[in-house]
Amino acid sequence: MFQFKLVLLGDSSVGKSSIVHRFVKDSFDDFRESTIGAAFLSQTIKIRDTSSDSTEDTVIKFEIWDTAGQERYKSLAPMYYRNANAALVVYDITQQDSLSKAQNWVNELKNKVGDEDLIICLLGNKLDLCDSSDNGDKRAVMTDEAKVYAEEQDLLFYEVSAKTGQGVKDVFQSIGEKLYQIK
Ligand code: GDP
């Protein structure tokens, strides 16, 4: 079994814990308590090894570190991202400011960890609040703005909803496949 370490970074309230819970427990809680410091969860996924003739799935285990977004915990983050294999940098699609915070994290990762050692994935969360006719459109960050930035910086990029689950599994699946390819 292959094991990879993931870390979630981003401003507080963008939905980091909710994304992890959606992925690990397939549930969503409107009143989740704030993460203090960091929280650890693990989950396995199966991937198909297309490079060999084997029809067996390969099992990958993720060790996921969900960090607290509050400013006072910022100094703890390097402990979690230093030996991570992938970082999920999350912003809230309905909060423009949270994208600049995410960009600060990307800069910090690139300065401190270096590109080759880490897969970075930019994740826009709360997609359920956008483009929906029932609730009105609360979108503040255009898809193209984030997408162009992610392409320039060579990041994976997805828009997801922890609330409905839209896109969440795909993110972890493609990170797993990418990590397995370069392992
Ligand atoms: P964290 O501080 O980044 O870990 O964010 P949380 O996971 O604690 O979520 C912050 C708030 O946003 C909570 O009230 C969540 O219920 C809410 N939230 C998280 N993800 C979503 C989502 O995909 N859609 C909506 N509508 N709300 C979300």
Residue 132 has pLDDT above 70, yes or no: no
Q: 14: CA distance to ligand 1 center in Å?
A: 6
* CA–CA dist 91, 98 (Å, integer): 5
- Our answer on whether the CB atom of 68 is closer than 6 Å to any ligand 1 atom is no
Measuring CA to CA, how many Å separate 107 from each of 3, 30, 66, 139, 178? 26, 31, 19, 24, 21
Q: Which residues pair with 57 in a beta bridge?
A: 48
Rounded distance, CA 123 to CA 90, Å? 5
Q: Write the DSSP assignment of 13-30 as a string of letters.
A: TSSHHHHHHHHHHS---T
In short, whether 116's Cβ falls inside 6 Å of ligand 1 is no
Q: What single-letter DSSP state applies at residue 60?
A: E
Cβ of residue 18 lying under 6 Å from some atom of ligand 1: yes
pTM for the predicted model, two decimal places: 0.93
Tell me the per-residue pLDDT of 51-69, one tens digit each, with 9 for 90 and over.
667 778 899 999 999 988 7
At 115 the pLDDT is: 63
Distance 13 CA to ligand 1 centre (A): 6
Which residues fall within 8 angstroms of residue 78, CB to CB, at 6 or more apart? 112
Ligand 1 mutation target, pool 9, 11, 13, most atoms within 8 A of CB: 13
Query: Which of the four pLDDT bands, split at 50, 70 and 90, describes residue 36?
Result: confident
The full DSSP string for 62-93 is EEEEEE--SGGGGGGHHHHHTT-SEEEEEEET
- With tokens 């994740």, the residue in question is 123
Summarised one tens digit per residue, pLDDT across range 69-114 is 777 778 888 989 999 999 999 999 999 999 999 999 999 999 998 7
- 133 pLDDT above the threshold of 70: no
Beta bridge partners of 41: 64
Tell me the residue type at 24. V
Average pLDDT over residues 121-149: 90
Query: CA torsion sign, 35 to 13 to 33 to 23?
Result: negative
> What pLDDT sits at residue 105?
95
Residue 3 reports pLDDT greater than 70? yes
- How does residue 134 score in pLDDT terms, banded at 50, 70 and 90? low
How far CA 79 is from CA of 54, 75, 76, 93, in Å, comes to: 38, 9, 6, 27
In this prediction, the answer to ipTM > 0.90 reads: yes
